[in-house]
């Protein structure tokens, strides 16, 4: 698994599970030219990480002819064992590599709504957001706006407060941590086109996480995903859609089902030929055969739109 500095900067290799297709994941990741936290192409994805306080550019590719994901260090000092292990775990969670997708494909292959997507997107995994603050911010920015505008807000927020690195003509950004916002005012965030409500919620979340009152570890330690959701719902400005989205993308809860998601509603409308968007009750009824895999069904249904 672990690499050495004299191996062309190879950090490590990770074994890939059955039903993993990097090109399918990259196609999803490349859905917006406004994505600022990584750059994907036909062969891999490059992302800026902070390793032992040093901006470090890491590229992920699949080793030719082998089921292994290679992490290569492009810039920065070779990290020690602990940050290296943390980076490996981040990547595992980013691509949901520990999940067995065979049960999902068994039900999807028999489902009229999912079977074509399950075939065309075979090997696509939920691209996670392992950092709780980043996941919450992305969900907050995406509340009641279209995807393009949400990306623009994230780009502006990251460029203003995050770290960056220039490499081969491209600028790579690292999403700011919650402590960055402890001295930021609501007016400053509103100048980046955030509404006052979103600015206030973002600052509240930043204060909770920076102060140790909220963490991913705490949410995962709760008795159930529903308990984690109730914890999130106590935060002003966090509603059902946001909490379900965080369950899905950050907490790796395969049962999360954001029935209020407009993209999900539009995908089902398109695929079923309905003359209107389905109601939450209709979506819940439709999802009965997907029990235990609602998040993956949602993720695949989104692919019908782009």
Strands (E) located in the chain? 10-15, 38-40, 44-51, 54-62, 68-73, 163-167, 170-174
User: Rounded distance, CA 300 to CA 94, Å?
Assistant: 17
User: Rounded distance, CA 221 to CA 225, Å?
Assistant: 10
Using left for φ > 0, alpha for ψ between -120 and 50, and beta otherwise, residue 9 falls in left
- Which of 74, 39, 71, 37 shows the shortest CA–CA distance to 56? 74
Q: Is 261 a catalytic residue?
A: yes
- Which of 183, 192, 18 shows the shortest CA–CA distance to 105? 18
Measured between alpha carbons, how far is residue 237 from residues 62, 204, 220 in Å?
40, 9, 21
Point out which residues pair with 71 in neighbouring strands.
12, 60
Catalytic residue among 21, 41, 261, 275: 261
Q: Which residues contact 167 (CB under 8 A, 6 or more apart)?
A: 57, 74, 75
User: Rounded distance, CA 47 to CA 58, Å?
Assistant: 6
Residue with tokens 């690499």: 3
- Which of 62, 65, 61 shows the shortest CA–CA distance to 74? 61
**Residue burial 212-231, b: 16+ Cβ < 10 Å; e: rest:** eebebeebeeeeebeebbee
Residue 199 tokens read as 């600015």
Length of the chain: 306
**CA angle centred on 251, ends 248 and 256, rounded to 5°:** 30
Which are the catalytic amino acids? 261
């Amino acid at each position: 698994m672990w690499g050495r500095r004299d191996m062309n900067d190879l950090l490590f290799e990770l074994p890939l599970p059955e039903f993993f297709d990097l090109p399918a994941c990259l196609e999803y990741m490349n859905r917006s030219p406004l994505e600022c936290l990584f750059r994907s192409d036909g062969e891999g994805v490059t992302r800026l990480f902070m390793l032992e306080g040093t901006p470090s550019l890491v590229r992920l590719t699949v080793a030719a002819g082998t089921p292994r994901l290679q992490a290569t260090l492009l810039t920065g000092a070779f990290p020690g064992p602990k940050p290296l292990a943390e980076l490996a775990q981040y990547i595992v969670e980013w691509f949901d590599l520990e999940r067995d997708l065979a049960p999902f494909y068994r039900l999807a292959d028999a489902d009229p709504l999912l079977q074509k997507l399950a075939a065309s997107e075979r090997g696509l995994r939920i691209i996670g957001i392992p950092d709780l603050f980043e996941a919450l911010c992305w969900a907050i920015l995406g509340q009641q706006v279209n995807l393009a505008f949400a990306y623009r807000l994230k780009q502006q927020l990251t460029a203003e407060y995050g770290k960056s690195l220039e490499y081969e003509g491209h600028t790579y950004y690292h999403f700011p941590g919650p402590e960055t916002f402890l001295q930021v005012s609501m007016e400053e965030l509103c100048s980046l086109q955030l509404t006052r409500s979103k600015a206030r919620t973002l600052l509240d979340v930043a204060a909770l996480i920076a102060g140790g009152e909220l963490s991913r570890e705490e949410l995962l330690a709760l008795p159930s995903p529903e308990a984690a959701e109730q914890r999130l719902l106590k935060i002003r400005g966090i509603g059902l859609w946001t909490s379900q989205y965080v369950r899905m993308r950050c907490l790796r809860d395969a049962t999360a089902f954001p029935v209020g998601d407009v993209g999900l509603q539009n995908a089902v409308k398109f695929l079923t030929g309905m003359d209107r968007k389905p109601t939450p009750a209709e979506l819940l009824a439709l999802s009965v055969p997907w029990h235990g895999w609602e998040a993956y069904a949602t993720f695949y249904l989104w692919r019908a739109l782009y």
